[in-house]
Amino acid sequence: MYRQGLVWLWKRHGGDEGSGSAYDLLLAYGYSPAAAWEELARLAGVPLNAWTPDAPRHTATARDPLANVRSALERCAPFADNEVWRATSLVSSIQEGDSAACELMTRGLYGWDGLEAGKLRRSVSRSDGKRLAHPGALVFTVRGPDGRPWGLKVRNAGSADRLKDLGLDRYVYAVWGHGSPAWCSPGYGSGEAVLIVEGELNGAAASRALMLAGLQLDVQGLAGAGGAPFLDGLTGKVVYLYADPDEAGTACLERLARIARGAGAAAVRILAPLPDGDFCDIAGTEGLARLGRVLKDLLAHSTIHHTVSPSGESVVPVTPHHHFPRGGVVVEAGLSKYRAKLDKKLGGSR
């Protein structure tokens, strides 16, 4: 974020050229135009009725998340042949003991061929010479629903303060001009249902754990809470959604639910947030088998997403048979701690 005159602006420096005003950023996170102005007024400490903002831009698409995601997907495309060659030339294989290997091990992803990962051969810089990523950093291929590479993403290692001192972002794209596509699981399109989660590596950990648990779900891992999911494979499927338990995650779930319904999903179900950590944390500390059982539990206890009609009434959609009935899952004592922690964490807000 930075200020230009009296206007706060944002720019994503990962190579996909995402940018706009603070108002545009809130819209991208799922705020309605009215709610966005209210939030900006609250942050500025001024009463909204005493503040007349300029006419918002792009309000037509802001009211329709499905139109927004279609617009975002227009900026995404699979790699051309020369870009595949360039991506290959930037990546070398990981050896045990590499920092990139440690990054994968802590997420339960080391050695899995479902995620094509390596380490960066050399620095990646912008056309103006600014360095975006350092050699040796973890890099992974983002494959789309067609199985083709749509992105090459780098995760710079180090603490947030260290990266700030170096002028580096946590995540950047090594091949530019392809937007921020979601990571899709191997064999996407053959699953019984779809799971969309926040974060590509979280999606990869979930996909691997589900496979080991014997569950056939297509998985998409979004490029952050504001990421655009692919619409492929959503029509007629039950779509499960998971995001971090924070304000951005809550807005993400609402936005994704509207997108999935607009894309023709048979039903949309929300997974309860984990009280601590994320899917990668569980996979790295407790193992993939544990993550698989946690995911089974979350799927079995997922809730139907409620929409609101123009008249303000709550609408509960008619849903097909739930793929993961509660009675068909044995919840271990170890798993119950997640629900107990979550109940305790949310108890004050109920």
* Cα–Cα distances in angstroms (integers) from residue 149 to residues 111, 117, 145, 231, 338, in the given order: 19, 12, 10, 17, 36
- What is the spatial distance between Cα 109 and Cα 205, in angstroms, rounded to a whole number? 7
- Three-state DSSP class for residue 120: strand
User: In this predicted model, which residue has the larger pLDDT, 24 or 196?
Assistant: 196
What is the token pair recorded at 293? 């059982």
pLDDT tens string 217-272: 999 999 999 999 999 999 999 999 999 999 999 999 999 999 999 999 999 999 99
Find the range with the poorest average confidence among 43-47, 202-206, 289-293, 331-335: 331-335
The predicted pLDDT at position 324 comes to 58
DSSP state of 78: P
Closest CA to 26 of 261, 254, 197, 226: 226
- Three-state DSSP class for residue 48: helix
What is the token pair recorded at 126? 């912008």
Taking residues 6-24, report their average pLDDT: 60
Q: What is the mean pLDDT of the chain?
A: 82
What is this structure's pTM? 0.75
Answer yes or no: is pLDDT of 59 > 50.
no
| E strands in 123-225 | 124-125, 131-133, 138-143, 149-155, 171-173, 183-184, 193-198, 217-222
Amino acid identity at 196? I
What is the token pair recorded at 144? 């789309």
pLDDT > 70 fraction of the chain, expressed in percent and rounded? 74
The predicted pLDDT at position 24 comes to 74
- What is the spatial distance between Cα 185 and Cα 116, in angstroms, rounded to a whole number? 11
User: In this predicted model, which residue has the larger pLDDT, 313 or 262?
Assistant: 262
Contact 257, 270 (CB under 8 A): yes
Amino acid identity at 132? L
The predicted pLDDT at position 128 comes to 80
pLDDT tens string 73-104: 999 999 999 999 999 999 999 998 999 999 99
Burial of 102 (0-12, 13-18, 19+ CB in 10 A): middle
